[in-house]
Amino acid sequence: MSDRKRRNRSVGLTSAATLVALSLATPQAYAADGKIIHDAEHYVLEAQHGAKWAMEDADIQAKLAALEAKHGMKPNIIHIMWDDTGVGEVGIPEIQAVRGFETPNMNQMADEGINFMRMYSEIACTQTRAAFQTGRYAVRSGMHSVAFPVESSGIDADEVMIAELLSDVGYKTAFYGKWHLGDTEPSYAHNQGYDEAFFTPYNQVPSMWVEGAELNNVVTGLFPEFYGEDKYDIDNSWQPNGYVWTLEGTKGGETLEWGPPPTVTNFWDIETEAQRRTLAFIDKSVEANEPFFIAYHPIALGFIPDPREKSKLTANKNVLQEALVRIDTFVGELFTHLDAKGISDNTLVIVMADNGPFTHFGPRGQVETLYTGGKGDFTEGGVRVPAIAKWEGVIEPDQIVGDIVHVTDLYTTFARLGGAMDGIPRDRVIDGVDQTSLFLNGDGNSRRDYVMIYQHKKLAAGVKGRFKRDWKNATPGLSMNEFYDLYTDPREANGEMIEQFHVKSMFNRQLARHNLWVEKYPNRAEPTPGPALTGIANERPETAKLRTSPVDLEKLPFTPEQMNNYPLPLSGSDF
Amino acid sequence: MSDRKRRNRSVGLTSAATLVALSLATPQAYAADGKIIHDAEHYVLEAQHGAKWAMEDADIQAKLAALEAKHGMKPNIIHIMWDDTGVGEVGIPEIQAVRGFETPNMNQMADEGINFMRMYSEIACTQTRAAFQTGRYAVRSGMHSVAFPVESSGIDADEVMIAELLSDVGYKTAFYGKWHLGDTEPSYAHNQGYDEAFFTPYNQVPSMWVEGAELNNVVTGLFPEFYGEDKYDIDNSWQPNGYVWTLEGTKGGETLEWGPPPTVTNFWDIETEAQRRTLAFIDKSVEANEPFFIAYHPIALGFIPDPREKSKLTANKNVLQEALVRIDTFVGELFTHLDAKGISDNTLVIVMADNGPFTHFGPRGQVETLYTGGKGDFTEGGVRVPAIAKWEGVIEPDQIVGDIVHVTDLYTTFARLGGAMDGIPRDRVIDGVDQTSLFLNGDGNSRRDYVMIYQHKKLAAGVKGRFKRDWKNATPGLSMNEFYDLYTDPREANGEMIEQFHVKSMFNRQLARHNLWVEKYPNRAEPTPGPALTGIANERPETAKLRTSPVDLEKLPFTPEQMNNYPLPLSGSDF
């Protein structure tokens, strides 16, 4: 509901040129000293294990220094993150055997690195991508909702992205693929720390906004001309008539729209181009003898079949599994490329999904595997994702890691590896904890036993080790069996009270601590508003039209600002 | 319902000594020549692949002959089958990492052998055990229901068990553990082809029939003294007051009850003794220089915790996972033992479960993993089980096999390996197909693409490759979306019609062929009745009392025979 309301609200009215001015040059308000502020729960663990962690960290620092000395630079980092995939769909060939497809390269990655069995994401695309880029739960940066065209808002310029951190310490940084963090100029990837960017501001829209999408029963019309004439349709103010699919830009440089509007035959060119640029950026960095950080976030899965394929790649045949195989092929090419460049032993590669399967009216074949629920749910099926890390000679091969990790931890861990810890802001909560010890020392070395799972702005569930509390359905006073033991009941089929009465007060305290910290370090309420899709040097007339209201604003009894500042409903009972 | 009715019906009335006499010496009516009669569906495949299979078989026969020449005997076979475990709970360490336990020895077996990802069982214990022993769907031998104490019936003497086949060609055969194929004398394991037997006629009752069981909230009273006084309880005829837990015997020898009645502290002695005898039987066979076949079917999982354990073996802590770890420890000991005896390269070892998890009011921690449903269900969760095979030097290591296999196939495959194919009866349908090629040649070499899934006497579903049809809920005429594509929807969450309209007529034909064959080779209607728990040389007075009706039978207007011959309701709508 909120996303739909939000979309209707934003377009045409609030995106008009009258919106408050935003500065691209907002100074990043953080100190370069002091300790990182973590979520409150972290301190409970630190109080118990801090001394041990400090000793481990000294060893890790020595090891990283030795590696830097050996290679003459910091390690390269490549992060690949795609959509909507349940735990087990990649990296566990036994499960693939019963699903009728195979990702040999990523399975081999698992054999040669770490298969994370408990990587938590946020519940949906925008949220996880914001969490990854900022090291903070999406709710803290206001990125608590999935962005759809046209939002006229985006991630705030004051958020300190991982690319900014790494850029500041000498990394060459690049983003290719699905960005999904807003459509305002400050939110563009190359305005958020990336030296080079080639990105879709939203999601897989390029694969939906073609006539062929209707064949797959996914999209019956994003745009007015997809519908037949409807004589009852009397509001012509909100449906966009122009659109932008892919942007490209360089840090401090101009923004360009890339390529022609996608068609059923060319929409995959975006993916191909993103992959081509990924390999080219590696080459360029190697040539410059500079460490690189590349986030390649595939637009695959698309919502319609790849038009280049005469027959399916898999017995499974559905768009997710077909997409996984295509991503897997690129992962194979990537490792071949790293080997050819001689940098495999100085490059950390992580592949993962952004949230659970798209089980709620998503494409066919998007189903639960090990966990209950999918994208959008606070059950494990929504927020546990496949994740594999490989780093030749540094990460021990063939590890299955059962520890809790959160996507925000990659922010802090990449900062540690890149020597960019000092750049992490000290004026806000950073949810990501440094998991370098887990990466280097393996199973049992996580510095996290908790996850707070949000839906929109509301805490829906808390995780503590094997236990989980469903806050969304909790009742005051006596429990409504909202406790789960995830070893015993990983599918959260049977909420319990009697067997877990001892965990109730712990979860109460966890929540109290968490909320105390939220009060102290308040969340940004919403994505930062702004005019949509501005600053495009080769702007098409249709794009400019997106920012022009078809309604005479003078005739309305409220202003776009008033609309834009009125808070959206919270989740659940607040709807 | 049927099991409860059956239990009530059988005890005290039909188990009286007036029952029809049964001969242990019924001649086994099968011919030693001619072709094996398979289920009708098999011939559709044979017509397409028979020539290829014949060529493969010639190679296989040569390979087996070479092995026999090398070892001077046929290969040994050890079959271990326990209860109620979903696919993935053993053999996939990634899944164990999220469940909080580990079976390192069985996982290593998977690394060194075949991890079958699509082994089908029957829906419940008795059925799968009957299918394994006879190579026939349980419905064909009348063993279509789970036996509970006291049934006064059992598997028929005319069924030709795998032990009979192998015994006849020179194998030493032994059965240890949970038998669950009846409580009549002809059904005892040592009267069904096993040279040595040590077995519980029913299931895990020894672990339930102790006071401590109540603590686990599993059993609130199998026996009258577990209940308080109930003044409304006026029928004293059906509740047994005596019981037999474990029997032992040798082929042609006497039957003895073993051990004292189990208590909360000693019930696991049955398991320990079964394991001890397994290893001792290996020693004896090696000494005698004769090939052996051992079926060790653990009574673990018990329904109460192992009293020997001061603390849990697993973080998971539930009885299933604890039991799996105990079984795993024995599997480790077994391989060490085989190595020590120098026979690992002439011994096929298979470990598997008998049906899906006990999700319907079973012990805590029995939950769905990859599939929907559990024990008793016709969904994949009920009938797909973990299964791993290892045979050093013969089975290629590290194989994941996605082919369909059915538990009955082990009958035929063991017969092939033991040179006992001629002993397989030719007067009835043998559902098991020879899967030696799959074992020796690996993935893609199954000779089966179908499974017929029965609940009680009724066909509930048919499987054909990736497709499944739910017959139980099928509607005449237009489909009620009862079709599933198991690659796309392994959890059978969304029955389909449109996308699978092309499979309807195929399933119609599959069923027609199957039923044609059932008409030609009729099923045995029921387990063969007989007095319960007779022929025990050291019979206790309480046991004899089981066969004495507390009701004066002369005062009843019907006879035990009439009761016994009245058919039970069929499943589903016939209840």
Q: What's the ipTM?
A: 0.87
Instruction: Give the SS3 label for residue B364.
Output: coil
Judged by CB atoms closer than 8 Å, whether chains meet at A98 and B369 is answered as: no
Decide which of B193 and A557 is more confident: B193
pLDDT in tens, B283-326: 999 999 999 999 999 998 767 777 666 778 999 999 899 999 99
Q: How confident is the model at residue B262 (pLDDT cuts 50, 70, 90)?
A: confident
Which CA distances in Å does B535 have to A2, B158, B189, B540, B564? 74, 19, 13, 11, 21
Q: Are residues A84 and A198 in the same domain?
A: yes
| Helix, strand, coil percentages, rounded to 5, for chain B | 35, 15, 45
CA quadruple B511, B514, B520, B526: dihedral positive or negative? negative
Decide which of A233 and B63 is more confident: B63
Tokens of A223: 């745009």
pLDDT the model gives residue B237: 76
CA–CA separation, B177 and B199 (whole Å): 5
Judged by CB atoms closer than 8 Å, whether chains meet at A487 and B115 is answered as: no
Is B96 domain-assigned?
A: yes
For B91, name the nearest residue in chain A, comparing CA atoms only.
A94
The reply to whether B97 touches chain A by the CB within 8 Å rule is: yes
Q: Point out the domain boundary residue: B520, B548, B568.
A: B520
Mutate to test the interface with B, among A87, A90, A92, A98 (most CBs of B within 10 A): A98
Q: Are residues B351 and B498 in the same domain?
A: no
% of chain B with per-residue pLDDT over 90? 69
* Number of neighbours of residue A445 by Cβ within 10 angstroms: 17
For A493, name the nearest residue in chain B, comparing CA atoms only.
B367
* 8 A C-beta contact, residue A368 and residue B491: yes
pLDDT in tens, B329-346: 999 999 999 999 999 999
Give the CATH number, domain containing residue B322: 3.40.720.10
* 8 A C-beta contact, residue B431 and residue B413: no
Judged by CB atoms closer than 8 Å, whether chains meet at B368 and A491 is answered as: yes
Q: How confident is the model at residue B478 (pLDDT cuts 50, 70, 90)?
A: low
Is B543 domain-assigned?
A: no
- Non-local CB neighbours of B25 within 8 Å, separated by 6+ positions: none
* 8 A C-beta contact, residue A473 and residue A483: no
Is B552 domain-assigned?
A: no
Mutate to test the interface with B, among A488, A497, A500 (most CBs of B within 10 A): A488
Judged by CB atoms closer than 8 Å, whether chains meet at B488 and A367 is answered as: yes
Q: How confident is the model at residue B16 (pLDDT cuts 50, 70, 90)?
A: very low
Region at A337 (left for phi over 0; alpha for psi -120 to 50; beta for the rest): alpha
* Number of neighbours of residue A163 by Cβ within 10 angstroms: 25
Which CA distances in Å does B381 have to A182, B119, B130, B267? 43, 11, 20, 30
* Cα angle, residue A298 at apex, residues A297 and A304 outer, rounded to 5°: 150
Q: Are residues A277 and A402 in the same domain?
A: yes
* 8 A C-beta contact, residue A78 and residue A349: yes
Is B194 domain-assigned?
A: yes
CA–CA separation, A209 and A109 (whole Å): 34
Is B356 domain-assigned?
A: yes
Residue B270 has pLDDT above 70, yes or no: yes
| Paired strand residues for B80 | B296, B351
pLDDT the model gives residue B572: 39
Mutate to test the interface with A, among B217, B314, B487 (most CBs of A within 10 A): B487
Judged by CB atoms closer than 8 Å, whether chains meet at B368 and A402 is answered as: no
Q: Which residues of A touch B490 (CB under 8 A)?
A: 98-99, 367, 369
* 8 A C-beta contact, residue A335 and residue A326: no
- What spatial distance separates the first Cα and last Cα of chain A, rounded to whole Å? 8
Judged by CB atoms closer than 8 Å, whether chains meet at A493 and B368 is answered as: yes
Residue B45 has pLDDT above 70, yes or no: yes
The reply to whether B49 touches chain A by the CB within 8 Å rule is: no
Residues 348-387 of A with CB under 8 A from B: 364-365, 367-370
Is the peptide bond preceding residue A301 cis, with omega within 30 degrees of 0? yes
| Paired strand residues for A528 | A154
Closest by CA to B129, choosing from B340, B6, B366, B297, is B297
Closest by CA to A168, choosing from A186, A192, A188, is A192
**Distance (Å) from the alpha carbon of A279 to chain B's nearest alpha carbon:** 31
* 8 A C-beta contact, residue A205 and residue A261: no
The reply to whether A29 touches chain B by the CB within 8 Å rule is: no
Q: Are residues A100 and A229 in the same domain?
A: yes
CA–CA separation, A323 and A475 (whole Å): 42
The reply to whether A465 touches chain B by the CB within 8 Å rule is: no
* 8 A C-beta contact, residue A431 and residue A87: no
Q: Are residues A150 and A216 in the same domain?
A: yes
Q: Which residues of A touch B317 (CB under 8 A)?
A: 487-488
Judged by CB atoms closer than 8 Å, whether chains meet at B98 and A370 is answered as: yes
Q: Are residues A360 and A466 in the same domain?
A: no
| Paired strand residues for A198 | A176, A248
Q: Point out the domain boundary residue: A470, A501, A520.
A: A520
- What spatial distance separates the first Cα and last Cα of chain B, rounded to whole Å? 8
Q: Are residues B439 and B469 in the same domain?
A: no
pLDDT the model gives residue B212: 63
Mean per-residue pLDDT of chain B: 88
Q: Are residues A256 and A361 in the same domain?
A: yes
CA–CA separation, B324 and B86 (whole Å): 12
CA–CA separation, A294 and A273 (whole Å): 14
Query: Whole domain around residue A78: which residue ranges?
Result: 19-234+247-450
Is B549 domain-assigned?
A: no
CA–CA separation, B109 and B114 (whole Å): 8
- Non-local CB neighbours of B190 within 8 Å, separated by 6+ positions: B175, B196, B197, B249, B250, B251, B253, B255
Is the peptide bond preceding residue A13 cis, with omega within 30 degrees of 0? no
Judged by CB atoms closer than 8 Å, whether chains meet at A488 and B364 is answered as: yes
Closest by CA to B31, choosing from B293, B424, B401, is B424
Instruction: Give the SS3 label for residue B87.
Output: coil
Judged by CB atoms closer than 8 Å, whether chains meet at B368 and A91 is answered as: no
Residue A388: what residue type?
I
CA–CA separation, A545 and A239 (whole Å): 11
Closest by CA to A21, choosing from A528, A517, A509, is A528
* 8 A C-beta contact, residue B495 and residue B372: no
CA–CA separation, A527 and B181 (whole Å): 66
CA–CA separation, A563 and A153 (whole Å): 13
* Cα angle, residue A218 at apex, residues A217 and A219 outer, rounded to 5°: 105
- Cβ-in-10-Å burial (0-12, 13-18, 19+) of B449 comes to middle
Give me the residue label for tokens 């019924």. B26
Residues shown for chain B: 575
Q: Are residues A99 and A196 in the same domain?
A: yes
Name the domain count of chain B.
2
Q: Are residues A506 and A376 in the same domain?
A: no
pLDDT in tens, chain A (575 residues): 333 333 333 333 333 333 333 333 333 433 445 899 999 999 999 999 999 999 999 999 999 999 999 999 999 999 999 999 999 999 999 999 999 999 999 999 999 999 999 999 999 999 999 999 999 999 999 999 998 888 889 999 999 999 999 999 999 999 999 999 999 999 999 999 999 999 999 887 766 666 666 665 555 555 666 667 888 888 877 766 667 889 999 999 999 999 887 777 788 899 999 999 999 999 999 999 999 999 999 998 767 777 666 778 999 999 899 999 999 999 999 999 999 999 999 999 999 999 999 999 888 889 999 999 999 999 999 999 999 999 999 999 999 999 999 999 999 999 999 999 999 999 999 999 999 999 999 999 999 999 999 999 999 999 999 999 999 988 766 667 899 999 999 999 989 888 888 999 999 999 999 999 999 999 999 999 888 899 999 998 888 887 777 788 888 888 777 766 665 554 333 33
| Paired strand residues for B536 | B255
Residue B434 has pLDDT above 60, yes or no: yes
Q: How confident is the model at residue B11 (pLDDT cuts 50, 70, 90)?
A: very low
Judged by CB atoms closer than 8 Å, whether chains meet at A94 and B100 is answered as: no
User: Of the candidates B95, B315, B487, which has its C-beta nearest A100's C-beta?
Assistant: B487
The reply to whether A498 touches chain B by the CB within 8 Å rule is: no
pLDDT the model gives residue B204: 77
Q: Which residues of A touch B364 (CB under 8 A)?
A: 488, 499
Judged by CB atoms closer than 8 Å, whether chains meet at A370 and B95 is answered as: yes
Average pLDDT over residues B428-432: 98
The reply to whether A59 touches chain B by the CB within 8 Å rule is: no
Q: Are residues A413 and A317 in the same domain?
A: yes
Is A433 domain-assigned?
A: yes
Residue B4 has pLDDT above 50, yes or no: no
Judged by CB atoms closer than 8 Å, whether chains meet at B98 and A493 is answered as: no
CA–CA separation, B73 and A337 (whole Å): 53
Report CA Rg, chain A.
Answer: 23
Is B135 domain-assigned?
A: yes
Closest by CA to A36, choosing from A447, A401, A354, A404, is A447
Region at B91 (left for phi over 0; alpha for psi -120 to 50; beta for the rest): left
Residues shown for chain A: 575
User: Of the candidates B100, B115, B486, which has its C-beta nearest A466's C-beta?
Assistant: B100
**Distance (Å) from the alpha carbon of B418 to chain A's nearest alpha carbon:** 30
Q: Are residues A492 and A395 in the same domain?
A: no
Q: Point out the domain boundary residue: B455, B473, B502.
A: B455
Report CA Rg, chain B.
Answer: 23
